[in-house]
Amino acid sequence: MSGFSLDAVAAILFIPAAAAILAALPNYRMTAAVNVAASLLTLLAALSLFVTDRPAPGQYLLIDDLNIVFIVLNTFVGFTTSVFSASYIAHELETGRLTAPNLRFYHAMYQIMMFGMNLAFVSNNIGLMWVAVELATLSTVLMVGIYRTHEALEAAWKYFILGSVGIALALFGTILVYMAAQPVVGEGTNAMVWSVLIENAAHFDPALLSVAFIFLLLGYGTKVGLAPLHAWLPDAHAEGPTPISAVLSGLLLNVALYAVLRFKLLLAASPQAIGPGPLMVTMGLTSLIFAAFMLYRRRDIKRLFAYSSIEHMGIIVFAFGMGGPLANFAGLLHMVMHSLTKSAIFFAVGHIAQVKGTQKISEIRGLTESHPGLGWALVIGVVAIAGLPPLGIFMSEFLVVSSTFARHPWLAIPLVFGLLIAFGALLLRLTGLAFGEPRGGMAPVEASYVPIYSHLALVFAAGIYLPAPLVAWFQHVAGILG
Amino acid sequence: MAVILELAIQGAQMFSVLLLAPLLIGFVRKVKARLVRRQGPSVIQPYRDLVRLMRKEVVLADNASWLFRVTPFLIFAATWVAAALVPTFATGLEFSWAADLIVVVALLGSARFFQALAGMDVGTSFGGIGASREVMIASLAEPAMLLIVFSVALVAGATQLSTVAAFMGSPEVGLRVSLGMSLIALVMVAIAENARIPVDNPATHLELTMVHEAMILEYSGRHLAMIELASFIKLLLYMSLISCVFLPWGLDSGGTGPKALAIGAATYLGKLAMLAILLAVFETAVAKMRVFRVPDFLGAALMLALLGTLLLFVSRSL
Amino acid sequence: MNGLTFDIAHLLAGSLVLISFMMLYQDRLFALINIFALHAVVLALSVAWQAYIQDAHHLYITAAIALVFKAIVIPVGLHRIIQRLGIHRDIETAVGIGPTMLAGIGLVTLSMVLMLRVTPEADPLAREDLAFALSIILLGLLVMVTRRNAVSQVVGFMSLENGLVLAATGAKGMPLVVEISVAFSILIAFIVIGVFLFRIRERFDSVDVGALDDYRGERR
Amino acid sequence: MISTVALLLCGPAAFLATAILGAAVSRRTFATRLVYGAAFVISAVLTAIVAGHLAGNSGEASATLPLGLPWTGARFRLDGLSAFFLLVVNLGGAVTSLYALGYGRHESAPHRVLPFYPAFLAGMNLVALANDAFSFLLSWEFMSLASWALVMAHHRDEANRRAGYIYLVMASFGTLALLLAFGLLAGPAGTYAFDAMRTAHPGPLAAGAVLVLMLLGAGSKAGLVPLHAWLPLAHPAAPSHVSALMSGIMTKVAIYGFIRVVFDLLGEPAWWSGIAVLLIGGVTAVLGILHALMEKDLKRLLAYSTIENIGVIFASLGLALAFKANAMPSAAALAFTAALFHVLNHSFFKSLLFFGAGAVLTSTGERDMEKLGGLIHRLPVTSFVFLIGCVSISALPPFNGFASEWLVFQAILRSPELPQWGLKVIVPAVGGMLALSAALAAACFVKAFGIAFLGRARSAAVERAHEVDRWSLAAMAVLAAFCLLAGILPGFAIDALSPVSLSLIGDRMPVQMAEPWLSIVPIAESRSSYNGLLVFAFIAISASLTAFFIHRFASHALRRSIAWGCGFTDAVPAAQYTAVSFAQPIRRVFGGFAFRARETVDMPAPGSLEPARLKVDMHDVAWEIFYQPITGAIDFATERLNHLQFLTIRRYLTLVFLYLVILLLVLALWP
């Protein structure tokens, strides 16, 4: 049985790898289909992890409650995004923004990225995790630059430079962790196996761990997009193909966040080391408030929502930094909800930008009038992302704010402040985009509504009803996160 | 039997109010005339005027609505009921508990409400002037009045006029600064409410200076008669209010036989005469003020009333 | 381990820091690149020495990679690029040399302080190594942020990577995975950078990042 | 007993189903009748159930659904308070739906109204039923969201978009304030069930914080000054029947929230809490009605007068708090009942007035009173019921507005028994404010009715106006009847409210229906009593008798002629007093401090021909003091921070580098 489920893990890894090669094959017409099919298979493999019992943690692979959340979310959004990107890319091909070779490259990279992210989640080895994260990052760098336009290249270059500095810092942090572990658990691979590390973390040298955590926080935090390490994020979202924006916001940020969480656990296990909580709370609040203010003057619709991703990453990091069962639960819930909502928003925005022929907010008006399907999707999405009920994010924000205020009132005030500022900005833009006299292209759009509305439906359902098993599972993970 | 008697007294009071009101006005006018060495019209001239008006036909403006025609009767009824609720020569009347001082004030308020509306109904600018100025005056006079009610009620522990009068008659009132202030405030409010000099000149017909007259400019015949009568009753009402709250002596406390009633009636007439003379003297002594000085006048009343209310807590160590 | 081996390792690591300092005050591109080549050579030496004293033979590969790629291939490549793109030779610095040096000294002290807090149980070599590696990394970053010119930024980045390699090799028995991944990542880094430089060459006349930045997503 | 709550929960469910149905068929012709008809039936049924519960005085009932917060569940509870407010909500909902059956047919964009209208009703019902913080806030914000969508129904108008924006931002500000309040009540463990909060009493500091937060949260929804800025924008922007719901009903739901937390969950209040609420209430009442007086847009005028009435209600609640804190239960019960009774009354006449405004809007297409006039000839029925609404809201006997304000004054007269000097002095002062606002309200509605319905037509639109449809008239007539009934038989309402005050205050007003002649006696007959029925009867009888006698025995001759115009025979309608000129004397009196109003007249030199001009500039002081600085600050901050979007890569690297160094320094200095 365990053998089978190990196969499931293997499938999660190898399907994308294989698909990447397939997609790179000369015949580009197939590639989109391959992409969708592969993503679907990966999702099924991921789901099979529920029914099968888990493999014992090996030197390289590990399945536990924490990462299974991420894996399933990852593969699910990966699948819906592939569905969306099929219709999106087709349109790009018609308009000639992309060529057939681009397409092959794009789909190959897409699968490599999925491979990288899945590997990052299942890896039990901090070195391997690092490799995987970088792999995912670099593949997205290439996709961001795919349009070859001045702006796209500039964005990709910025992403690449900042990203590789992040790479370096994270690697140094990883090395430091190894150095801290090596005297305790002895030399060799064992000193990089996470499940081993967490057991002995108490005996590690606290000073080393502290330095290591700072490097890891900055290194992976760069990819989480925490201010002031965020600079790459808005442009990468704005200039890349929209499916990639969706994946970046929905998934890649989570990957980096997952890495940070793992190391937070490690640090939390070593009492004398510097507390990760205050650091994360600070970075979270900074990002939240900073992004909230940045939302106001955005003129590009995708950049707008990129900043809102920064804002929400801030909230999540804040929640995990607060710790405690309520805040951690809220953090997990918020992360899942944000992935679903934000990717749905980007799906809608992608179609909108295509039909209106522009990403300039000022040139898009009255969507609910001209394109009700997309317009109302955008309204629901923004309402959800702004934390209004009856949608999922409301529940998580409810828990974060109320529990924080009960515990540390002075932390809740800036939190609420940031939330309100961000809300004002988002609603302001939404009012302009969705209402008023329609402006811009009026052509009917053949959008793929299924991914959009399936995400929104999930978010809505979660807002009013969380199934008991999911809750128990979240609570357990929240317990692990301490 | 007792009930019959009570009802009789109640009825007697209502009709005595109705009958006395024009006389009071006539008396005031007479005194004023004499004060300026004029012969002046006879004291019963108001009755004659009313009867004449009743007989005359009504000339109605073309676009006057039903409201315009109903209003006079509403005003009259509201004022009359209000007056009937104020003890004149006897307290503890059959229906006195049907309403208290606040209701009396509010009834006068509704009379004014409809009068202002009627003023705007025809759609001439005079009606507008009158109505807007009237509500401006009222918006200051009414709170002042209510604050007076407060201070009185806080002293007497009731807004029920019979109770108040009974209490004010009792020796335990003593002499209170706050009550003095309330009295002054009440007088000022009464002057404003009855459109007397210096707030408004009941005799003027120069459109730009009139307030009360401007609203009823379009009225004629029986309608005018009703409104005039209502204003007469209003003056009487305020005078009997002052007398029953601040000069409550000789009031018949109810059911104590004809002798007491007679005394009550006599003293009541005496008080009215005195107040009427005071009013006449005051009116001849002062000049009418500009419309936009009126707020200061009433603001003073408001302040006095508020001060009176607040001083209560100082004067008696609650 | 006896004193000599320790001292040699110490000497090599220390000289790496020294060379990083030398990078800080270069104002000519070619000189900078040459210094970097030297940096790479010393790195290769120290890695080799580590391989010898830990007798971990796989580290020789790392040393070789460092020598071949960083000390030879890349400097030559960069010379080429500079000639081909006709970038003028001197580097305009964002911050004056003096302040930069002072900052560098500050950074080195900072890293010393941090590492000396580490409990002495960790073997001394590792501690010293880490201290040096940390200062090299910080100095590399300093080079990146104080130089306006793309090439010099790339150089700064690579010296930073050298610091990483030093640290990694200093860590006893760290699995091969890591070194390979380091080299691997640097390789990818260079491919991509090369690709980008090439594309950028198509569109711009210089690789000056400043010029790249004149379009910043949104015009004001 | 579960069944009652379950039954009541079916209501929102049915509303939501209607909403979905409405969304599905919204573009069909029959959709309007379908949706509003369904809404009417549902609200009517709910009203019946709740009324039965209230009359039967059948105690409490609760239910828990496996929704919402996992470990709390969605809890619902029906007690006296919620039953009363459910009555207000659903009665209003029923009448509004009745009105909308006719009014809704004129809707230009039904597909933007029909789906959200039932959702709005559902939200309000759920708020009144919720029994845990999460469900409460969820329903609360859902209510805001639905009403926002309704405000945005006519989104092509820039002003409406602005209104919707400000509305939702303020709403979510309020929600966050409530969220913090509930956070305090729930404590770190996160016990969000109201039952748990009831038992756990917070410390004085926490209690004070909760009160302030509730004033911010519920107050921003109810429209307390200075949080009222959104209300006069949003309420008129919606279709008129929705305006009626928002102004007449939704503000009451906000008051419900306030009462639920402050009177129920918070336990014993501190005596100063009364002062805060009293003062805010008084100021709100006066400023609200002053703003209303300055308005010339009929619907905005009504919205501002809503603010005034909210002020009255809050002042009365503050009084109740003060009495409750000083263990004077009978007085507290009086004040509390007065507040609730005014809630009921205001929901009647404010809805009625908004219906009237809607009727005027449909028949003339005008909201601006300066373009109306003389409608009493064109819309006889509408103008009659509107007049009744005006009389009631002006607190004139014998209608309901007066009855509740009279009770408030009676409560104020109990103030000497309060021990604290602060309260002793402040309560009468607030009483003065309330009296002032009542008088100004009368002035305001003289203006509203006089300018819009009396006089001569100021625009051609009025000439073409004709009476509205039967549904609308029926709805308005029903409300008018309610206004009169509640005015002449207040005893019924007061006795029906006794269980509420019993459960929250611990005491009740004396039984009123036992009094002779159906008069009401709040404390003792010797002290004060009021009999609306008799007053009404006296006025009616004496008026009609007089009229009869005069027409019978004196003259009944009548001649039509032109109005007296100083010798000018045909004065143009424009020569009439306008809304602005009517308000001018009051502006002269109060404008100085309330609006910093300045009048500048420039007289042309003698002989020159250009007209003299009178220029009045007024300021919305609250807006300038509280809102402009905030927007200015945000603008400044965004401007400054925005530069970070345009840095070079090297500078971004510098940021990273500095951040790293700072963190390392922190670590180096870490003990």
Q: Is the CB of D648 less than 8 angstroms away from the CB of C153?
A: no
Residue from the list A167, A179, A183 with its beta carbon closest to the beta carbon of C130: A179
Q: Which residues of A183-201 are buried (b: 16+ CB within 10 A; e: fewer)?
A: bbbebebbbbbbebbeebb
CA-closest candidate to residue D402, choices D412, D413, D391, D418: D391
Which phi and psi angles does D5 have, rounded to 5°?
A: -60, -45
- Is the predicted pLDDT of residue D475 greater than 90, yes or no? yes
Q: Around Cβ D142, how many Cβ atoms within 10 Å?
A: 24
pLDDT at D2: 54
> Residue B22 corresponds to which tokens in the numbers above?
């024009």
Q: Please, which residues have CB within 8 angstroms of residue B51's CB and are 6 or more apart in sequence? A: none
Distance CA A332, CA D70 (A): 15
pLDDT at A57: 79
Beta strands (DSSP E) in chain B are: 58-61
Report which secondary-structure segment, H or E, holds D271.
Answer: helix D271-294
Which range of residues forms the domain containing residue D656?
A: 625-669
Distance CA A49, CA A13 (A): 13
Report which secondary-structure segment, H or E, holds B7.
Answer: helix B2-35
ipTM at complex level: 0.90
pLDDT at D42: 96
- Is the predicted pLDDT of residue C74 greater than 60, yes or no? yes
Residue D345 CA from chain centroid, whole number: 11
d(CA C145, nearest CA chain D) in Å:
5
Q: Is the CB of A153 less than 8 angstroms away from the CB of C200?
A: yes
Q: Which residues of D93-105 are buried (b: 16+ CB within 10 A; e: fewer)?
A: bbbbbbbbbbbbb
Residue from the list D646, D650, D653 with its beta carbon closest to the beta carbon of C216: D646
CB A107 within 8 A of CB A23: yes
- Is the predicted pLDDT of residue C203 greater than 50, yes or no? no
Distance CA B39, CA B36 (A): 9
Report which secondary-structure segment, H or E, holds D639.
Answer: helix D628-642
> Residue B43 corresponds to which tokens in the numbers above?
């004291």
pLDDT at C125: 66
CB A336 within 8 A of CB A69: yes
Model confidence pLDDT, tens digit, residues D500-558: 888 888 888 888 877 777 788 888 877 888 888 989 999 999 999 999 999 888 888 88
d(CA A388, nearest CA chain D) in Å:
7
pLDDT at C88: 66
Domain final residue, candidates D261, D281, D314: D261
Residue B60 CA from chain centroid, whole number: 28
Q: Which of A115-119, A352-356, C178-182, D560-564 has the lowest mean pLDDT?
A: C178-182
Model confidence pLDDT, tens digit, residues D574-625: 888 899 889 988 998 888 888 888 888 888 888 888 888 888 888 888 888 8
- Radius of gyration over every alpha carbon of chain B, rounded to an integer in angstroms: 19
d(CA A245, nearest CA chain C) in Å:
15
Tell me the C-alpha to C-alpha distance, in Å, between residue D608 and each of C134, D604, D611.
87, 6, 9
Model confidence pLDDT, tens digit, residues D409-466: 999 988 888 888 888 889 989 999 999 999 999 999 999 999 999 999 998 888 888 8
The model carries a pTM of: 0.93
Domain ranges within chain C, ordered by starting residue: 3-206
Mean pLDDT (whole number) for D367-385: 92
- For D551-597, the DSSP string reads HHHS---EEEEPPP-TT-S---GGGS--HHHHHHHHHHHHHHHHH--
- Is the predicted pLDDT of residue C205 greater than 80, yes or no? no
> Residue D655 corresponds to which tokens in the numbers above?
């940021």
Best interface-test mutation with D: which of C145, C215, C218 has the largest number of D CBs within 10 A?
C145
With a pLDDT cut of 70, the percent of chain B lying above it is 93
Distance CA D509, CA D499 (A): 10
> Residue D76 corresponds to which tokens in the numbers above?
């619902």
pLDDT at C199: 43
d(CA B272, nearest CA chain D) in Å:
25
SS (H, E, C) chain A: CHHHHHHHHHHHHHHHHHHHHHHCCCCCHHHHHHHHHHHHHHHHHHHHHHHCCCCCCCCCECCCHHHHHHHHHHHHHHHHHHHHHHHHHHHHHHHCCCCHHHHHHHHHHHHHHHHHHHHHHHECEHHHHHHHHHHHHHHHHHHHHHHCCHHHHHHHHHHHHHHHHHHHHHHHHHHHHHHHHHHHHCCCHHHHEHHHHHHHHHHCCHHHHHHHHHHHHHHHHHHHCCCCCCCHHHHHHHHCCHHHHHHHHHHHHHHHHHHHHHHHHHHHCCCCCCCHHHHHHHHHHHHHHHHHHHCCCCCEHHHHHHHHHHHHHHHHHHHHHHCCHHHHHHHHHHHHHHHHHHHHHHHHHHHHHHHHCCCEHHHCECHHHHCHHHHHHHHHHHHHHCCCCCCHHHHHHHHHHHHHHHHCHHHHHHHHHHHHHHHHHHHHHHHHHHCCCCECCCCCCCCCHHHHHHHHHHHHHHHHECCHHHHHHHHHHHHHHC
- Is the predicted pLDDT of residue D107 greater than 90, yes or no? no
CB D179 within 8 A of CB A401: yes
- For D450-505, the DSSP string reads HHHHSS---SHHHHH-----HHHHHHHHHHHHHHHHHHH-HHHHHHHHHHHHHHHH
Q: Is the CB of A424 less than 8 angstroms away from the CB of D187?
A: no
Which residues of chain D have a CB within 8 Å of the CB of B107? Answer: 397, 535
Tell me the C-alpha to C-alpha distance, in Å, between residue C152 and each of A438, C29, C139, D21, D537.
50, 7, 13, 66, 99
- Radius of gyration over every alpha carbon of chain A, rounded to an integer in angstroms: 21
Q: Is the CB of A388 less than 8 angstroms away from the CB of D145?
A: yes
Q: Please, which residues have CB within 8 angstroms of residue A44's CB and are 6 or more apart in sequence? A: none
Q: Which of B68-72, C120-124, D239-243, D307-311 has the lowest mean pLDDT?
A: C120-124
Which residues of D, range 434-453, sit inside 8 Å of B by Cβ? Answer: 435-436, 438-440, 442-443, 446-447, 449-451
Where do we find the tokens 């609203």? B215
User: Do the bridges between strand B58-61 and strand D558-561 make them parallel or antiparallel, or are there none, so unpaired?
Assistant: parallel
d(CA A157, nearest CA chain C) in Å:
8
pLDDT at C184: 55
Residue from the list A161, A167, A182 with its beta carbon closest to the beta carbon of C172: A182
Mean pLDDT (whole number) for C130-147: 90
Give the count of domains, chain D. Answer: 2
pLDDT higher for B177 or C120? B177
Residue D603 gets the label, from left (phi > 0), alpha (psi -120 to 50) or beta, of beta
Where do we find the tokens 């930069």? C100
CB A147 within 8 A of CB A99: no
Best interface-test mutation with C: which of A137, A179, A210 has the largest number of C CBs within 10 A?
A179
**What sign for the dihedral angle of Cα D226, D227, D228, D230?**
positive
Domain final residue, candidates D241, D261, D281: D261
d(CA A387, nearest CA chain D) in Å:
9
pLDDT at B207: 64
Model confidence pLDDT, tens digit, residues D170-199: 999 999 999 999 999 988 888 899 999 988
Q: Is A306 on the interface with C (CB under 8 A)?
A: no
> Residue C19 corresponds to which tokens in the numbers above?
């060379």
- Whether cis (ω within 30° of 0) applies to the bond prior to A228 is yes
Model confidence pLDDT, tens digit, residues B303-317: 999 888 888 776 654
CA distance from start to end of chain C: 62
Q: Which residues pair with C154 in a beta bridge?
A: none
Which residues of chain A have a CB within 8 Å of the CB of D150? Answer: none
The pLDDT confidence band at residue C206, using thresholds 50, 70 and 90, is: very low
CB A162 within 8 A of CB C217: no
pLDDT at D525: 77
CB A396 within 8 A of CB A386: no
> Residue C56 corresponds to which tokens in the numbers above?
């971990």
Q: Is the CB of A431 less than 8 angstroms away from the CB of D137?
A: no
- Mean pLDDT, chain D, rounded, equals 90
> Residue C178 corresponds to which tokens in the numbers above?
């890591």
Q: Is D484 on the interface with B (CB under 8 A)?
A: no
The one-digit pLDDT tens for each residue of chain A (482 residues) are 344 455 778 888 888 888 888 777 777 677 888 889 999 999 998 888 888 777 777 888 888 888 888 999 999 999 999 999 988 888 888 888 888 888 888 888 999 999 999 999 999 888 889 889 988 988 898 888 888 777 887 788 788 888 888 888 998 999 889 888 888 888 878 888 888 888 888 888 888 889 999 999 999 999 999 988 998 999 999 988 999 999 999 899 999 999 999 999 888 888 888 888 889 999 999 999 999 999 998 989 999 999 999 999 999 999 999 988 889 999 999 999 999 999 999 999 999 999 888 889 989 999 998 899 999 999 999 999 999 988 989 999 999 998 898 888 899 999 999 999 999 999 999 999 999 998 877 788 777 889 999 999 999 999 989 988 889 888 988 888 87
pLDDT at C214: 47
CA-closest candidate to residue A329, choices A469, A479, A455, A461: A479
Q: Around Cβ A26, how many Cβ atoms within 10 Å?
A: 8
**What sign for the dihedral angle of Cα D119, D125, D128, D134?**
negative
